[in-house]
């Protein structure tokens, strides 16, 4: 092997040679159903024809521009993203990865908040590098697990946990609406909405990390739309490029106004490249034209009840967590046994995710997956999970 594997992940399929929608094919011609969407990337399926056309057409005109010139396709894609996020009148930047988009958004927050702390929930991933990966000085991590199921409609000072949040020093909130570092947990709405209201009242900023929850993954365009909130800043990645390395950091008009002419202290060679922007534009168009948000909801009504039925039939206390087509089964078994179950699924022709060192099996199929393949996967999983 001439490359470094991803840390902690076992290379189970070393010879994939072709992909089509939600099917992978190895060198021997064996087909595998991809229920992981690559690394949760292919929001409109592998080899999507519209995305391929967009890539070819843009390559034939201009793929990359420098610091002193732009391209109309970038402005068109930016308009589409800003509209989706309710950021009309705002501005966005096209980058290369989800972690970059988070870092860009964090630098915006730091520029505007003038030294205030940024709050996150304790199980957040945030990003692979930069400010969000270090989470040292200038951060406040809130352990929300005891808030789950508390039953309150809103948070108030008579709750000791809420009263302990230092809103006198916290000026921003970076929210991940369901990823939970890959374990898929959903913070209670009253907590998230109370934080957003409190920060808004004091001129603070609410940022969402939609790298893994955006572009229809949760049955809505974005994960934050399951909460009564509107973000000031949003980071998009993975699904926005359908596997092509492009991401977006989007700012509301209000945040753009607060920045004024202050340059954001971040830049790289592929900032606002036309090729990446063309891909984003085509992905947004595909999801709209094929009504894939609605289809994700329909398929979710097959996947989640199917997983729960398998869990209920297990002698162990198996938990299912999910929203839309983002789901996990916490198998309540030894991680070594979970790893063998994972391998057996691959041998049976199904690719899922397994968080290293855990017994948490993750499914993130694209909403373009064939219904028959989804049902066949549930049928294959039932005896393995028993």
Summarize pLDDT for 9-67 with one digit per residue, the tens: 888 999 999 999 999 999 999 999 999 999 999 999 999 999 999 999 999 999 999 98
Reply yes or no on whether the pLDDT at 236 is more than 90.
Answer: yes
Nearest to 244 by CA among 38, 36, 73: 38
- Provide φ and ψ at 8, rounded to 5°: 90, -10
Query: Could you give the 3-state DSSP secondary structure of residue 55?
Result: helix
Structure confidence at residue 165 (pLDDT): 95
Mean pLDDT score of the chain: 95
Nearest of 205, 252, 251, 328 to residue 94 by alpha carbon? 251
Listed residue (305, 106, 290, 280) closest to 208, CA to CA: 106
Write out the two tokens for 197: 């209201």
Angle of helix 274-289 relative to helix 292-313, nearest 10 degrees, comes to 70
Return the closest-CA partner of residue 346 out of 36, 32, 102: 32
Domains of the chain: 16-34+291-385 (3.90.1150.10), 49-290 (3.40.640.10)
Angle at CA 95, nearest 5°, toward 89 and 98?
Answer: 100
Pairwise CA distance, residues 128 & 145, whole Å: 24
The confidence score (pLDDT) of residue 149 equals 82
DSSP designation for 11: -
Range from 135-149, 279-293, 352-366 carrying the lowest mean pLDDT: 135-149
* Burial (0-12, 13-18, 19+ Cβ within 10 Å), 214: buried
Q: What residues pair up with 95 in beta bridges, in sequence order?
A: 247
Is the model's pLDDT at 309 over the cut of 80? yes
CA atoms within 13 A on the CB side of 221: 16
Look at residue 56 and give its three-state secondary structure: helix
Looking at residue 204, its pLDDT comes to: 97
Do residues 267 and 68 lie in contact, with contact meaning Cβ atoms separated by under 8 Å?
no
CA–CA dist 92, 269 (Å, integer): 16
CA angle 267, 273, 275 (to 5 degrees): 150
Alpha helices in the chain (DSSP H): 37-40, 49-59, 72-84, 98-113, 131-134, 160-163, 189-201, 253-259, 274-289, 292-313, 335-347, 371-385
SS3 134: helix
pLDDT (tens digit, 9 = 90+) per residue, 203-214? 999 999 999 999
pLDDT higher than 80, residue 1: no
pLDDT confidence bin for 311, thresholds 50/70/90: very high
Which of 275, 297, 252 is CA-nearest to residue 84?
Answer: 252
**Segment 276-287 mean pLDDT:** 98
Least-confidence region, from 91-100, 148-157, 249-258, 341-350: 148-157
Q: What is the pLDDT of residue 133?
A: 86
Alpha-carbon span 330 to 293, nearest angstrom: 26
The string of DSSP letters for 277-323 reads: HHHHHHHHHHHHHTTHHHHHHHHHHHHHHHHHHHHHHSSS--EEEEE
Cβ–Cβ < 8 Å for 306, 202: no
pTM over 0.75: yes
Q: What is the DSSP letter of 5?
A: P
Residue from 235, 239, 234, 220 nearest 279 by CA:
239
Over residues 102-115, mean pLDDT:
94
| Count of Cβ atoms closer than 10 Å to residue 303 Cβ | 24
* CA–CA distance, 257 with 242 (Å, rounded to integer): 31
Q: Which residues pair with 92 in a beta bridge?
A: 250
């Amino acid at each position: 092997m001439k490359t470094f594997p991803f840390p902690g992940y076992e290379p189970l399929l070393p010879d994939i040679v072709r992909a089509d929608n939600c099917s992978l094919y190895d060198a021997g011609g064996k087909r595998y159903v991809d229920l992981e969407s690559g690394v949760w990337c292919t929001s409109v399926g592998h080899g999507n024809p519209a995305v391929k056309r967009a890539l070819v057409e843009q390559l034939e005109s201009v793929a990359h521009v420098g610091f002193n010139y732009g391209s109309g396709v970038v402005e068109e894609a930016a308009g589409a993203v800003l509209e989706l996020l309710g950021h009309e009148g705002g501005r966005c930047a096209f980058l290369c990865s989800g972690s970059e988009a988070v870092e860009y958004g964090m630098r915006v927050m730091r520029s505007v908040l003038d030294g205030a702390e940024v709050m996150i929930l304790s199980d957040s991933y945030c990003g692979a590098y930069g400010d969000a990966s270090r989470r040292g000085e200038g951060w406040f991590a809130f352990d929300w697990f005891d808030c789950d199921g508390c039953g309150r409609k809103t948070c108030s000072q008579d709750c000791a946990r809420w009263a302990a949040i230092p809103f006198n020093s916290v000026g921003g909130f970076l929210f991940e609406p369901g990823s939970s570092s890959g374990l898929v947990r959903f913070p209670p709405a009253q907590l998230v909405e109370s934080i957003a209201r409190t920060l808004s009242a004091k001129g603070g900023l609410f940022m969402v990390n939609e790298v893994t929850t955006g572009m229809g993954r949760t049955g809505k365009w974005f994960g934050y739309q399951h909460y009564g909130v509107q973000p000031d800043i949003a980071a998009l990645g993975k699904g926005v490029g359908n596997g092509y390395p492009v991401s977006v950091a989007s700012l509301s008009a209000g945040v753009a106004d607060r920045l004024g002419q202050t340059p954001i202290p971040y830049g790289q060679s592929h900032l606002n490249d036309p090729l990446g922007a063309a891909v984003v534009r085509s992905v947004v168009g595909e999801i709209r034209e094929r009504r894939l948000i609605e289809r994700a909801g329909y398929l979710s009504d097959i996947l989640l009840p199917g997983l729960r039925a398998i869990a209920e039939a297990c002698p162990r206390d198996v938990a299912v967590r999910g929203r839309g087509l983002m789901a996990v089964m916490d198998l309540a078994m030894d991680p070594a046994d979970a790893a063998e179950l994972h391998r057996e699924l691959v041998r049976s022709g199904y690719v899922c995710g397994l968080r290293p060192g855990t017994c948490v099996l993750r499914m993130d199929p694209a909403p373009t997956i064939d219904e028959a393949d989804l049902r066949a996967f549930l049928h294959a999983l039932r005896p393995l999970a028993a």
